[in-house]
Structure 1
Amino acid sequence: MYTELLADQLDFHWTHQLRPRFEGLTDDEYFWEPVPDCWNVHPGANGTTVDFAYPPPRPEPFTTIAWRLAHVIVGVLAMRSHSHFGGPPADYETWQYAADAAGALRQLDDAYARWIAGVRALTEADLTKPCGPTEGPYGAEPMAVLVLHINREMIHHGAEIACIRDLYIHSKEN
Structure 2
Amino acid sequence: MPISIAEEVLDQIESHWEGQLRPRLHGLTDDELAWTPIHSDPRTTIEWRIRHVTEGLAETNATYFDGPPVGELPRPGSASDALDRLDEAYAGWVSGVRGLGDLGLSEAQGSRSPAAFAQAPVARVMLFTSVEVIHHGAEICLLRDLYVRR
Q: Quick check: TM above 0.5?
A: yes
Match runs of 1:1-174 below 5 Å: 1-39=4-42, 62-74=43-55, 76-92=56-72, 95-136=73-114, 138-171=117-150
1:141 counterpart SS class: coil
Superimposed CA distance per residue, residues 25-56 of structure 1 (whole angstroms, 9 cap, x where no aligned partner): 001110001111312xxxxxxxxxxxxxxxxx
TM-score computed with the length of structure 2 as normaliser: 0.91
> Structure 1 residues 63, 134: closer, same or farther in 2, change over 3 A?
farther
What is the CA distance between 1:63 and its match in structure 2?
2.2
> Structure 1 residues 64, 120: closer, same or farther in 2, change over 3 A?
same
Superimposed CA distance per residue, residues 138-173 of structure 1 (whole angstroms, 9 cap, x where no aligned partner): 4432111111101110110000000000000011xx
CA distance in 1, matches of 2:120, 2:71: 22
Superimposed CA distance per residue, residues 93-149 of structure 1 (whole angstroms, 9 cap, x where no aligned partner): xx3331211100000000000000101111322112122334335443211111110
Q: Which has the higher contact order (CA 8 A, sep 6+)?
A: 2
Kindly provide the amino acid, as one letter, of the partner of residue 24 in structure 2. Answer: R
Q: Give ranges in structure 2 of 5+ residues lacking alignment.
A: none
Which segment is superposed worse, 8-17 or 111-120? 8-17
Kindly provide the amino acid, as one letter, of the partner of residue 91 in structure 1. Answer: G
1:8 counterpart SS class: helix
What stretches of structure 1 move > 6 A for 4+ residues in a row?
none
TM-score computed with the length of structure 1 as normaliser: 0.79
1:24 counterpart SS class: coil
> Structure 1 residues 21, 90: closer, same or farther in 2, change over 3 A?
same
Write 1 or 2 for the structure with the bigger share of helix.
2
